[in-house]
Structure 1
Amino acid sequence: MFARISSVPLAMIAVLATAPLAPAMAASDAVFFKAVAGEWKGPGEIVAGKYKGTRFSCNLEGLPESGKRAGISLDGNCRVGVFSQKMSAVITRKGRSYSGRFLDGAAGEGLDVVSGRISSEQAVVAIKRKKLDGAMVAKLLDPETLNVSISVKVGETMVPVIGMTLKRSQGRVQTGSLR
């Protein structure tokens, strides 16, 4: 039933955890992108499918996109045991929605971000790879904690397949000033 999921590398899916998306208002997405910028690390687990029970850990750094386009770029890695996979993503506002890619996008070994909605505390984005449709929800529980879940569509039902909680790394914390 979940065989389609295995075509997407585990660590690549985990990078979705920090990929916020989809605005109703430009101010909301800018707040969310800024809030998730910085260094994050934490554990996750595959909760359904062929690799159910597999635990992994990710270290990621998010940098806001510069220029006129609101968005974020992510770089880092995710690890399962002794195996590590480089992660990268770019997500940007495109009109009133979002577009982006994880790794090299759906045309390669990755995923495409095809749409979404965002508030200052939560991002919900649609993801696609060939016949696999799904969604990633990233919710800021507080300034230091980001909960992420990834679900895929099986028939007419969305089935959760990955869950993770990332904590802001104490290494480099984004700071700013009020004027």
Structure 2
Amino acid sequence: MSSASRLLALLPFAAALAVTAQEPAAASERDQRFFKQVEGQWSGPGEIVAGKYKGTKFVCTFAGSTPRDAIGMALDGGCRVGVFNQDMSARVERARSGYRGTFLDGAKGKGLDVVSGSVNGKYAVFGIHRNELTGAMRAQLTDKETMNITISVHVEEELVPVIGMTLKRLDTQAVGALATE
């Protein structure tokens, strides 16, 4: 998998993210509200903002859903760079010790593992991992129709943003209401 493919592979994760442990029931409800807002059809442009492929532009389209019996989300879709398409899928669920999940087939395959996460009102952040690559994905619902995603990776001691994108809701009606926290 090329460096550009690995960077593109991070994109869908940015759509949802770790839990603060103040009141478990309140945190669970807050997290569930956030993930419900991610349900539906999303599409938009993005750009690699650092590294070898800096300036590369792409467009992604995703279908977001939530599991029936767990707190979390699934994203299915793909991203296009020029004439090249890459299928994307991600699964994230709350586990006893935080959020866990996979992008594509996880770090044991060609993808990434989600190893942590938290949700705070209108945004979520997930820790990502594959071999020596570690980083974070942040998804922020700026309003009912817009989600901004930033993916950052650790370079030495610093967390460096490498991918940014803005997704717009394609559904005719937004799912859920933005939390006021």
Same fold (TM over 0.5): yes
Match of 2:147 in 1: 146
Within a 5 Å distance, the mapping from 1:26-105 to structure 2 comes to 26-67=28-69, 69-105=70-106
Cα distance between partner residues in 2 of 1:171 and 1:55: 26
Q: Superposition RMSD on alpha carbons, in Å? A: 1.8
Give 3-state SS (helix, strand or coil) of 2:51's partner: coil
Cα distance between partner residues in 1 of 2:83 and 2:138: 28
Match of 1:6 in 2: 3
Within a 5 Å distance, the mapping from 1:114-133 to structure 2 comes to 114-133=115-134
Q: CA-to-partner distance for each residue in 1:28-67, whole Å, 9 max, x for gaps?
A: 1101000111110000000011111100000000111111
Match of 1:158 in 2: 159
Note the C-alpha offset of 1:174. 3.4
Question: Deviation above 3 Å: which 4+ runs of structure 1?
Answer: 170-176
* Alpha-carbon spacing, 1:152–1:140, altered in 2? closer, same or farther (3 Å): same
Q: How many residues align?
A: 170
- Contact in 1 for aligned 2:148/2:167 (Cα 8 Å): yes
* Alpha-carbon spacing, 1:85–1:40, altered in 2? closer, same or farther (3 Å): same
Q: CA-to-partner distance for each residue in 1:87-111, whole Å, 9 max, x for gaps?
A: 1111000125100000000111101
Identity, % of aligned positions = 51
Cα distance between partner residues in 1 of 2:140 and 2:97: 20
Structure 1 residue 21 and structure 2 residue 1: aligned? no
Structure 1: runs of 5+ lacking an equivalent: none
- Contact in 2 for aligned 1:39/1:171 (Cα 8 Å): no
Cα distance between partner residues in 2 of 1:122 and 1:96: 20
Note the C-alpha offset of 1:16. 1.9
- Contact in 2 for aligned 1:17/1:164 (Cα 8 Å): no
Structure 2: runs of 5+ lacking an equivalent: 21-26
Note the C-alpha offset of 1:9. 2.6
Note the C-alpha offset of 1:11. 2.8
Cα distance between partner residues in 1 of 2:85 and 2:91: 20
Note the C-alpha offset of 1:10. 3.6
Cα distance between partner residues in 1 of 2:115 and 2:153: 14
In the alignment, residue 22 of structure 1 is paired with which amino acid?
A
